[in-house]
Amino acid sequence: MTWRPKKLTATQREERRLEAGQLLRTTDLSQAAIARIVGVSRTAVTKWKQQIKQRRHGVTGLKNRPRPGRPPRLKAQQWREVLRQLKRGAQAFGYETERWTLDRVQQLIKQEYGVIYNANYLSDKLRRLGWSPQQPAVYAKERDEELIAAWLRQDWPRIKKSAAARRNHHSGR
């Protein structure tokens, strides 16, 4: 059994179409057999066969066409660099805290690449790239870990037990 990723890149999908197109033109295999070989539905192979017949370009008509719409302002490599910079922490860029807000990320991108993104877009894009903004835990400077541990060991079980006893006493009425 060959390994087939769940999500193919545009280049991989194009290669699959071209391979199916070559098989359609050079072999006597059925569309179902070709579909099994390249890992698609019979309907897809039928559609590609029709495209080959309708277009005068033959199998090359199955190549990727330019995508409509505005090209991305930052390339994939630049987004990877943005993620590396975010991992360095906000303080490395002169902020008082380690917290990355969308405004701060927006400023970073503007400063480094001269591109301004809407904060709503940034939120979605960063999530798609796997960046999860974590808020650092904030603890009081006066916090005494030993005192907290002692309270959890000694006082909390007693409080929990008395609360349960009160609940049971009230429910028996």
State the maximum Cα–Cα separation within the chain, in Å, rounded to a whole number.
88
pLDDT, position 97: 86
pLDDT, position 4: 67
pLDDT, position 167: 79
At 116, give phi and psi (nearest 5°). Answer: -110, 125
pLDDT, position 51: 87
Q: How far apart are CA 91 and CA 79, in angstroms?
A: 20
pLDDT, position 1: 44
CB-CB contact of 10 with 41 (8 Å): no
Q: How far apart are CA 96 and CA 90, in angstroms?
A: 8
pLDDT, position 18: 92
> What secondary structure does DSSP assign to 73-102, as a single string?
SS-HHHHHHHHHHHHH-GGGGT-SSS---H
pLDDT, position 85: 93
pLDDT, position 44: 93
CA atoms within 13 A on the CB side of 150: 4
Which mean pLDDT values do the consecutive 10-residue runs of the chain (173 residues) have? 70 91 91 92 92 81 86 91 92 89 92 91 88 70 88 89 78 56
